Each structure stands twice: as structure tokens, then as C-alpha cells.
Chain A
Amino acid sequence: MPSARPDQIRQPPLRDGIILIVVLAVIFLVAPKVYGNQSLLLVMMTFVALAQGLNLLYGFTGYLPFGYVGFFGAGAYGMSILVLHAHVPAIPAVIGGGIVAVIFGVILGPLLRLSGAYFSIANLATAQILLLAVANPSLTPLTGGPYGLKLQQVFAPGAAYLTMLVIMLLATVIAVYFRRSRFGLGLRAMTDDRVSAEMAGINIVRARLIVWLISAAIAGLAGGAYAWSISVYYPDAVFGTNISVFAIVFALAGGVGTVIGPIVGAILLYALYNAIGITVPQYFELLYGFLIVILVLFLPEGGLSLLRRRGVDVL
């Protein structure tokens, strides 16, 4: 007997989402007690959050933001300027960093009119513009110009670590929502066929903008917490193109459009980076460059698609 409403979006795995979030939280709460290098774990969480935030946009709408780091840097500078010039406490300032990123997202909203590679490259250009602007010597009084910023007065590595944990979990919760909700179903439809999605009654422009701003907020929050944790930084440390690059590679390697893919990709590859990449980063760069080429040619849906091909329903 078929039910009255056939094939509801496979709802029950909401449980999977809760399990995943608890596991992630436990891992990163326990890890600092086992493994002494807390700052490495923090950067790892930063990349999990960034890979997931990028996945929200690319995996669910098809827009690949090559300048994703622009939001990260905007969040870092937004947070720092709030602390330094408005004397806002650190945690509200991190939230402020997220808001600054969202404001940039609104300003850059028209980029969503572009598609494919045009969007990606224009987005990269906007991130470069932001970098060149904050690093410009004429803005030194506000941004520190090329000399960067110092936030020692709020330095609190433990609190920054927990804040980043919360941000990473928030990104994960949103990804679970995208995977399992009516909104996520609409996103899937939009990516599948834009015109038909409109003919199904979906307000594509609005849905896209919402995802874009959520994705911007995640990067902005992560940037704020990151700035807080390192407390002294140069413009390149929060606006470097390699941050976008890492987020893209990590998300693609695990598999975009899933929740677990970017998490697994970021944790494994960032660990690998630390094992082989710190002294001579070029070996790692060579490796992940090669990895991208191989993934695109043979596994365009990421590593986890190996599991899915065997019929495993990956969250």
C-alpha cells in the first residue's frame, strides 16, 4: 500500500546527523588532552568549517567560490577592528566578524548573476581587491596596512578553541539541514535544472542568496575566531589565496554535496599536510594538485562516492 504522500525526503537519518555532530564535538574536545598541539587542532577545525562552508555553496548550488577566503579575511579584520577600535569583547566581536562577512556577501550578491567559471574568477578578484585594500599602507590606522594587526589584549587560546568548535559544529548542522530538509530538496532541484526548478515554483534568486550569505557567515565567523586564536597576523595570513585553495581541495577530495565529505577531506588532508607539508610545502602542493587532477578525471564526486557506488547512503 503506497502512503498518501509518496517518498517523503528520506527523513529518519536526522539521527545520523545528531550522531555525527556529537562524534565531532567529542573528538575535538578530547583531542587537545591527548595531543598537545592545540593550535594545530584549531587550524584543522578552521579548515573543516571552511570546507563545509564552501560545500554549502558549491555542493548545494554549484557556485564554486574561488575567493571564499575574502569572507574569512573580512571576518578576521571585522572581528579585530571591533576589538581594537570599539573595544568589543572577543566573542561578540567574532559574531561581528560574521556579520561583516555577510555584509560583504550582500554587496557581492550581484556576482550570483554570473555562472560557472565567471563567478569563480570574479569572486577570486573580489577577494584580491579586499586583500589589496586592507594591506594598503594608506589604511594603516584602521587595518594596520601591510603590518597587520595585534590582538594580544584579548588573547585566550582556550576560549578561541571552543568558539571555533562551535562554529565548525554550526556549519555541520547547516549542512545536515541542507541534506535533509525541504529547503535542501529545492536546492537539489535548482542545481539539477534551473528552469524546471522555477517551474516548480522555487524562488531561485532568493534561495541562492540565502545560501551565499550563510556560506559567507560561516567563513566570517571562522575568520573572526581564527584571528582571535592567533592574535597577531599579517594580511596574507587571513587573505592568502591558499586558504581558498585548501578549502576547495579538502571539500572536493571528500566529496561535495554531502555532509561528511568535507569533514573527512579536511581532517585527513590537513593531517597529511602537517605530516609532509610544513617544511617543504611544495611536496604537498604537488600532491594535492595531482589529487585534484585525478579526482576530476576519475572521481568527480569525491572520495566518498566510492562508498556511495557500493550503495552506502552517505550523509
Chain B
Amino acid sequence: MSSEALLELAGVVKRFHGLAVVQDLAFNLKPGEILGLVGPNGSGKTTAINLISGVYPIDAGEIHLGGRRIDQLAAFRRVHLGINRSFQVPKPFRGMTVAENILVAAEYGGGQPDQEQILEEVGLTAERHRVASSLTVNHQKMLDLARALATEPKILLVDEIGAGLNPAELNVVADLLLRLANRNIALIVVEHLLKFLNRITDRVLVLSAGRRLFEGTLAEASADPEVVAAFLGG
């Protein structure tokens, strides 16, 4: 294990009703690094994010953040230590305004973020007074990201943010994620859109049926017959 790794997973297992949905998952992540997490539906990508962020407890294995074991900590404590995420189906505080959404995370997240800058960064400055439930899904996704950024994360887990975006919007998001990585935030990006992923990273982890199938560059992955078979079969 390299000493500079920010996040380390080793032997992580998750079962639902006895069925393993994540099996022996292990990888490392360094500050500022972007890891693409890909795989067919049901391969355990979102579950992996839920395990790292603490939404579900793990059944076996260990998760370390900056050398500290975190897999037994409640989700909010992991937030304070610097892990945050967005959701595949965005989950803003629907009854609150955009600004209030960010304020909650700023107040409780353990950081001292510049809320104006975050609004600016995700492109929601003009929507600040709108109630979250009235936003478009794309804006809600951005608000999800903003809520995460307001806790000043060291690691950001991004779950299928590209789905439903047009090419121009995808470019904006890609640029944003690259900027975050430049600020030394490590990112795990679950994504189906491989072209989008290719723009922001060349390191991917391919999951199939809860197991690591492949780790390497995206180009190598798409040349690997096993990976191709898993995608076609899935």
C-alpha cells in the first residue's frame, strides 16, 4: 500500500439477503486523482459508493482514509473527515431554497466554505432563491454537487452525473470535475458514458457482478475481451 494513498479499500464485501453485491473490492486513490468506476447495471458501482460514504455498513474488509480506519464510522463523521458524494437520483432538500441547501452543508459539514463561490462554480447563482423542488433535474444534480462541495471534501464520489445531459452540458461538468481534481480533491466517478469519462481520466476500475474485473486505462479496458464480454452480457 502506498503511503501517499488518501483512500484505501481492502477486501470490502457487501451482501444483501445473503447475496454478495460487492465482493473483495480493493483499490487506492491519491489526492487529486480521478478514478472511473464502470460496469454493467447491477455490477455494484453505486453500492461501492454507498459503502465508502457510509450509507450502508460493510460486511467485511476495511476502508481507510488518510491512514485512519473509517468503515465503522457513521456517515456524518465520514463527511466531517472529508468524504462526500452526489446521488444518481439527486437528493437536495426539496423544501429549501438553493442557498439554504448549501447553507445547511456549510453550517454542519465541518468546513468554512465560500458559499458564493460554490454557487458560482456549479452555475446556480441565478437560481439561489428558488426552491430546490422547482429546479430541473440537471440543476438538482448540480445542487447535489454543491451541497457536497460545501462540506469541503477531500474525496468526492460522483454517481452518474452525466446521464441525461447534452454534449455542451457534459463539457461543463467535465471541466468542473477537472477543476476540482486540480484543487487536489480525489474523485470517484461512476459513469456509463465512456466518452465523457475518457475526457477526465484514464484510470478506470471495471466491476462485474460485484467483483473487480479489470483495472487500468480505459483504452486497455475496451481492448480486454473479458471486459467487452461483461458489458455485452450485462
Contact call B76/A188, Cβ cutoff below 8 A:
no
Question: What per-residue 1/0 map shows which CB atoms of A178-215 lie under 8 Å from chain B?
Answer: 00001001101100110111111111110000000000
Contact call A201/B116, Cβ cutoff below 8 A:
no
CA of A203 to CA of B73, assembled, Å: 12
Q: Is B193's beta carbon under 8 Å from chain A?
A: no
Contact call B79/A198, Cβ cutoff below 8 A:
yes
Report if A200-B147 is in contact (Cβ < 8 Å); known contacts: A7-B128, A9-B103, A185-B100. Answer: yes
Q: Is B115's beta carbon under 8 Å from chain A?
A: yes
Q: How far is the CB of A179 from chain B (nearest CB, A)?
A: 14
Residue from the list A188, A201, A203, A204 in contact with B151, Cβ < 8 A: A201
CA of A7 to CA of B195, assembled, Å: 39
Residue from the list B92, B104, B105, B115 in contact with A5, Cβ < 8 A: B115
Contact call A185/B103, Cβ cutoff below 8 A:
yes
Q: Is B99's beta carbon under 8 Å from chain A?
A: yes
Contact call B107/A182, Cβ cutoff below 8 A:
yes
Q: Which residues of B contact A286 (CB under 8 A)?
A: none
The interface on chain B, measured as residues whose beta carbon lies within 8 A of the other chain's beta carbons, has a size of 38
Report if A196-B92 is in contact (Cβ < 8 Å); known contacts: A6-B119, A7-B128, A201-B79. Answer: yes
Question: What per-residue 1/0 map shows which CB atoms of B124-166 lie under 8 Å from chain A?
Answer: 0000110000000000000000011011000000000000000
Question: What per-residue 1/0 map shows which CB atoms of B63-95 lie under 8 Å from chain A?
Answer: 000000000001110011000110100011111
Contact call B74/A203, Cβ cutoff below 8 A:
yes
Contact call A6/B151, Cβ cutoff below 8 A:
no
Residue from the list A6, A189, A192 in contact with B116, Cβ < 8 A: A6
CA of A133 to CA of B76, assembled, Å: 40
Q: Is A4's beta carbon under 8 Å from chain B?
A: yes
Contact call B119/A201, Cβ cutoff below 8 A:
no
Q: Is A110's beta carbon under 8 Å from chain B?
A: no
CA of A202 to CA of B85, assembled, Å: 15
Additional pairs, 19, CB under 8 Å, beyond known A195-B91, A201-B109: A2-B116, A5-B115, A6-B119, A186-B104, A188-B95, A189-B104, A192-B96, A195-B55, A195-B87, A196-B93, A198-B55, A199-B148, A200-B105, A200-B151, A201-B76, A201-B110, A201-B151, A202-B104, A204-B76
Q: Which residues of A contact B (CB under 8 A)?
A: 2, 4-9, 182, 185-186, 188-189, 192-193, 195-205
Q: Is B23's beta carbon under 8 Å from chain A?
A: no
Contact call A185/B104, Cβ cutoff below 8 A:
yes
CA of A111 to CA of B228, assembled, Å: 50
Contact call B93/A188, Cβ cutoff below 8 A:
yes
Contact call A203/B96, Cβ cutoff below 8 A:
no
Q: Is B46's beta carbon under 8 Å from chain A?
A: no
Q: How far is the CB of A198 from chain B (nearest CB, A)?
A: 4
- Best-surrounded residue of B102, B103, B150 (most CB of chain A within 10 A): B103
Contact call B108/A202, Cβ cutoff below 8 A:
yes
Residue from the list A9, A182, A186, A198 in contact with B75, Cβ < 8 A: A198
CA of A252 to CA of B97, assembled, Å: 25
CA of A118 to CA of B19, assembled, Å: 28
Q: Is B53's beta carbon under 8 Å from chain A?
A: yes
Q: Which residues of A contact B115 (CB under 8 A)?
A: 5-6
Q: List 23 A-B contacts (CB under 8 A).
A: A5-B103, A6-B128, A7-B97, A9-B100, A185-B107, A188-B95, A189-B93, A192-B93, A192-B94, A192-B95, A195-B55, A195-B87, A196-B92, A198-B54, A198-B74, A198-B76, A199-B53, A199-B76, A199-B79, A200-B104, A200-B109, A201-B110, A204-B76
Residue from the list B84, B99, B107, B110 in contact with A199, Cβ < 8 A: B84
Interface pairs A-B: 10 shortest CB-CB: A7-B99, A201-B109, A200-B105, A201-B108, A192-B93, A201-B79, A198-B75, A189-B104, A196-B91, A6-B99
